[in-house]
Amino acid sequence: MATKTQVAAAGLQGWRAKVGEAVAPPVAKRTPASEEQVRAAVGALFFALSVLYVSKTIVTAIRRAREG
């Protein structure tokens, strides 16, 4: 079974993975979090932003359909 950290890091695909890889070492050096935890946090953030984007798009589409 996957850990929470592994699930959150799964959000790192393509250019997002490059961002996570670039950000993880310097942040991990300055915080008590490990590099893996930092990558997971970045992945979770990107996932949350994607969910918000899709949600807003669906709400906008429904509103326009009702006005239509």
For the stretch 3-55, pLDDT in tens is 888 888 887 889 999 999 999 999 999 999 999 999 999 999 999 999 999 99
Residue 8 and residue 41 in contact, taking contact as beta carbons nearer than 8 Å:
yes
**Residue 13's pLDDT is what?**
86
The structural domains of the chain, with segments of one domain joined by +, span 4-67
Mean pLDDT to the nearest integer, 61-66: 96
Confidence band of 1 (pLDDT split at 50, 70, 90): confident
Which residues contact residue 19 at a Cβ distance below 8 angstroms, ignoring those fewer than 6 apart?
Answer: 12, 42
